[in-house]
Amino acid sequence: MMKVSKYVLYDILRSKIVLAYTLFLLIVSLSMFNMEENSSKAMLSLLNIVLIVLPLVSLVFTTIHYYNSYEFIELMSSQPMSRTRIIISEFAGVSVSLLSAFLVGVGLPILLYAPDETGFALLLTGMALTVVFVAIAFFASVRSRDKARGIGAALLLWFYFTLIFDGLILLMIFNLSDYPLEKITLPLISLNPIDVGRIFVTLKMDISALMGVTSALYKDFFTSSTGLLFTIGIMLLWTVLPLWLAIRRFNKKDL
Amino acid sequence: MHRLALILLLFLSANGFSRNIIVGKNQPVSSIRKAIEIAKDFDSITVLPGVYKEGALQLTKSLTIIGQNYPILDGENKYEILLISGQNITVTGLAFRNSGYSALNDYASIKLVDASKVTIAANKITNAYFAIHVSNTSYATIKNNNITGTPTSEQLTGNGIHLWKSRYALIENNTIQGHRDGIYFEFVTNSTIRNNHSEKNIRYGLHFMFSNDDAYLNNTFKDNGAGVAVMYSKKVKMENNHFDQNWGPSAYGILLKDISDSYISHNTFYKNTVGIHMEGTSRMTIERNKFKENGWAIKVQASCENNSFQRNNFTGNSFDVGTNGSLSLNEFSNNYWDKYEGYDINRDGVGDVPYHPVSMYSMIIEQNPNALMLLRSFTVQLLDKAEKAIPSLTPENLVDKKPMMKSLKL
Amino acid sequence: MISIEHISKRFRKLQVLEDINANMEKGQVISLIGPNGSGKTTLIKSILGMVRPDKGKITVDGHVISGDHSYRANIGYMPQIGRYPDNMRIGQLFRMIENIRGVAADKQDETLIRQFELEKIYDKPMRTLSGGTRQKVSAALAFLFDPAILILDEPTAGLDPLSSELLKDKIIAEKKKNKLILITSHILSDLDELTTHVMYLQEGKLQFFKDMQTLQEETGELRLGKAIARIMKGEKLTNEWIDKILEVKKDEKIY
Percent of chain C with pLDDT over 70: 82
Among A78, A86, A90, A255, most C C-beta atoms within 10 A, so best to mutate, is A78
Q: In the predicted model, what is the mean pLDDT of residues B176-181?
A: 95
Least confident of B36-45, B149-158, B398-407: B149-158
Return the CATH class of domain C2-246. alpha beta
Q: How many C-beta atoms surround the C-beta of residue B56 within 10 A?
A: 16
Q: How far is C120 from chain A (nearest CA, A)?
A: 20
3-state secondary structure chain C: CEEEEEEEEEECCEEEEEEEEEEECCCCEEEEECCCCCCHHHHHHHHCCCCCCCEEEEEECCEECCCCCHHHHHEEEECCCCCCCCCCEHHHHHHHHHHHHCCCHHHCCCHHHHHCCCHHHCCCEHHHCCHHHHHHHHHHHHHHCCCCEEEEECCCCCCCHHHHHHHHHHHHHHHHCCCEEEEEECCCHHHCCCCCEEEEEECCEEEEEEEHHHHHHHHCCCCHHHHHHHHHCCCCCCCHHHHHHHCCCCCCCCC
Q: How many domains does the structure of chain B reveal?
A: 1
Q: Is A96 on the interface with C (CB under 8 A)?
A: no
Q: Is A182 on the interface with C (CB under 8 A)?
A: no
Read off the pLDDT of residues A191-200 as tens digits, 9 standing for 90 and up. Answer: 999 999 998 8
What does the pLDDT read at residue B366? 84
- Cα A166 from Cα B2, distance rounded (Å): 85
- How many A×B Cβ pairs under 8 Å? 113
What does the pLDDT read at residue C254? 46
Domain containing residue B240: CATH number: 2.160.20.10
Structural domain contains residue B36: no
Least confident of B21-25, B111-115, B287-291, C157-161: C157-161
Structural domain contains residue B130: yes
Closest alpha carbon within chain A to C125? A11
CB contact under 8 A, B316 and A169: no
Mean pLDDT of chain A: 89
What does the pLDDT read at residue C152? 92
Least confident of B274-283, C114-123, C221-230: C221-230
Chain A touches chain B, with at least 3 Cβ pairs below 8 Å, answer yes
Residue B120 has pLDDT above 80, yes or no: yes
Residue B376 has pLDDT above 80, yes or no: yes
Q: How far, rounded to the nearest angstrom, does the alpha carbon of residue C250 sit from its chain's CA centroid?
A: 29
What does the pLDDT read at residue C249? 46
ipTM score: 0.87
Which distant-in-sequence residues (6+ apart) come within 8 Å of C248 by Cβ? Answer: C254
Q: Is A46 on the interface with B (CB under 8 A)?
A: no
Among A118, A158, A188, A208, most B C-beta atoms within 10 A, so best to mutate, is A208
CB contact under 8 A, C84 and A7: no
Percent of chain C with pLDDT over 90: 24
Indicate the burial class of A220 (C-beta count within 10 angstroms; 0-12, 13-18, 19 or more).
exposed
Residue B8 has pLDDT above 60, yes or no: no
Q: Which chains touch C (3 or more CB pairs under 8 A)?
A: A
What does the pLDDT read at residue B334? 95
Diameter of chain B measured on Cα atoms: 93
pLDDT bracket for residue A138 (50, 70, 90): very high
Q: Are the C-beta atoms of residues B265 and B290 closer than 8 Å to each other?
A: no
Among C83, C127, C141, most A C-beta atoms within 10 A, so best to mutate, is C83
For residue A33, the one-letter residue type is F
What does the pLDDT read at residue B377? 92
Q: Select the residue of C45, C73, C79 nearest A80 (Cβ to Cβ).
A: C73
Structural domain contains residue B15: no
Vertex C211 angle, CA C208 and C214, to 5° = 90
Q: Select the residue of A72, A74, A252 nearest C50 (Cβ to Cβ).
A: A74
What does the pLDDT read at residue C231? 61
Q: How far, rounded to the nearest angstrom, does the alpha carbon of residue A50 sit from its chain's CA centroid?
A: 8
Q: Select the residue of A10, A80, A83 nearest C101 (Cβ to Cβ).
A: A80
Mean pLDDT of chain C: 82
Half-sphere exposure of A131 (CA within 13 A, CB side): 21
* B381 vs C156, higher pLDDT: B381
Mean pLDDT of chain B: 91
Residue C255 has pLDDT above 50, yes or no: no
Read off the pLDDT of residues A47-89 as tens digits, 9 standing for 90 and up. Answer: 999 999 999 999 999 999 999 999 899 989 999 989 999 999 9
- Cα B120 from Cα B40, distance rounded (Å): 19
Domain containing B350 equals 58-69+84-94+102-389
What residue segments make up the domains of chain C, in order of their start?
2-246
- Helix-strand-coil percent breakdown of chain A, rounded to 5? 85, 0, 15
Nearest CA among B257, B359, B282 for reference residue B317: B359
Q: In the predicted model, what is the mean pLDDT of residues B199-228?
A: 94
Q: Is A185 on the interface with B (CB under 8 A)?
A: yes
Among C51, C88, C95, C138, most A C-beta atoms within 10 A, so best to mutate, is C88
- How many A×C Cβ pairs under 8 Å? 80
pTM given for the model: 0.85
Q: Of the ranges B7-21, B70-84, C195-209, which is most confident?
A: B70-84
CB contact under 8 A, C87 and A77: no
Q: Is C45 on the interface with A (CB under 8 A)?
A: yes
CB contact under 8 A, A7 and C96: yes
Which residues of chain B make contact with A211, given a CB cutoff of 8 A?
247-249, 251, 273, 295
What does the pLDDT read at residue A248? 94
pLDDT bracket for residue B153 (50, 70, 90): confident
Q: Are the C-beta atoms of residues B353 and B343 closer than 8 Å to each other?
A: yes
What is the Cα gyration radius of chain B? 26
Residue count (chain C): 255
What does the pLDDT read at residue B7? 57
Read off the pLDDT of residues C193-236 as tens digits, 9 standing for 90 and up. Answer: 788 888 888 888 888 888 877 777 766 655 666 666 666 565 54
Q: Select the residue of B369, B379, B381 nearest A213 (Cβ to Cβ).
A: B369
